[in-house]
Amino acid sequence: MPAPHPAESRSDAELIRANRGFYDSLWAGAKLIAPACFNTWPLLHELAAAAPRRLEVAPGLRPRLPLHGSCFVDLSHAALRCLQASGADAVHGMIGALPYGDASFDLVCALDILEHVADDEGALAELARVAAPGAAVLLSVPLHPAAWTAFDDFVGHCRRYEPERIVALLARHGFSIERSAVYGMQPKSSRLLELGQWYLTHHRERAMWWYNRVLMPLGLRFQKPLRWRAGLGDTSGVDELLLRCCYRPVSAPSR
């Protein structure tokens, strides 16, 4: 079989279908997990407390910003219902067309998003539009196209980023990387990955039950602490990075 490879030729419509197919099934059987349960909380809660206007894009049922006082945008109606039932200000929308005015937020969070959209330039332009000058912008991105697996395809990823590419891409839209942290979990076993994907393909409901009831709680229990480091840091062998950026408006980027 040919090696899997990034799917940057996929259209937005194809990616939306793939993402909805996976995440609607995931969120339909999941419970909301409070932001304080994640290893991102020690890095974000003081930042959030200092930002009166906060936005998190596409959190699903794994929000990282405080539920009260933050705005949330998501495509999944199942996730939105649960967020709203918990008192969150959550509305339907996409990263490429956010339903907010210019310079509306002091803190913008978009984790695990850029790799899911065909037009990442447009997504970043939209984040820049709603961010106030000097706003903190939190992003996470998977690195190294050579690390692409079939699971990236299955969950609707469009790409992985070379480190120099993400730095240049962010800079074009006024985002400078101030800090980063090694983030995410890369599967250690290709056989385990193949088995999980087979179950997700052929027994999706059962696979989602195991993920939500067993694997996710175990993952939360054994999370490793995150630590900020200056700038991008060493990216050798790093699967994914959490990036803390500062936004300063620039002239319109060339597309």
Helix (H), strand (E), coil (C) string for the chain: CCCCCCCCCCCHHHHHHHHHHHHHHHHHCCCCCCHHHCCCHHHHHHHHHCCCCEEEECCCCCCCCCCCCEEEEECCHHHHHHHHHCCCEEEECECCECCCCCCCEEEEEECCCHHHCCCHHHHHHHHHHHEEEEEEEEEEEEECHHHCCHHHHHCCCCCCECHHHHHHHHHHCCEEEEEEEECCCCCCCHHHHHHHHHHHHHCHHHHHHHHHHHHHHHHHHCCCCCCCEECCCCCCCCCEEEEEEEECCCCCCCC
Would you say residue 3 lies in a domain?
Answer: no
Would you say residue 6 lies in a domain?
Answer: no
The structural domain count of the chain equals 1
Mean pLDDT across the stretch 49-73? 96
* Whole-number pLDDT of residue 142: 94
The answer to whether 70 and 138 are in contact (CB under 8 A) is no
Q: Which residue has the higher pLDDT, 168 or 211?
A: 168
**Is pLDDT of 205 > 50?**
yes
**Is pLDDT of 214 > 70?**
no
* Whole-number pLDDT of residue 32: 92
Domain that holds residue 16: 12-247
Would you say residue 1 lies in a domain?
Answer: no
Would you say residue 253 lies in a domain?
Answer: no
Q: For the segment 1-55, what is each residue's pLDDT rounded down to a tens digit?
A: 444 556 555 556 665 565 565 666 666 667 899 999 999 999 999 999 999 999 9
Q: Which residue has the higher pLDDT, 195 or 69?
A: 69
Would you say residue 175 lies in a domain?
Answer: yes
Would you say residue 5 lies in a domain?
Answer: no
pTM value > 0.85: no
- Looking up residue 201, the CATH number of its domain turns out to be 3.40.50.150
Would you say residue 69 lies in a domain?
Answer: yes
Considering the chain, what percentage of its residues have pLDDT values greater than 90? 61
Would you say residue 99 lies in a domain?
Answer: yes
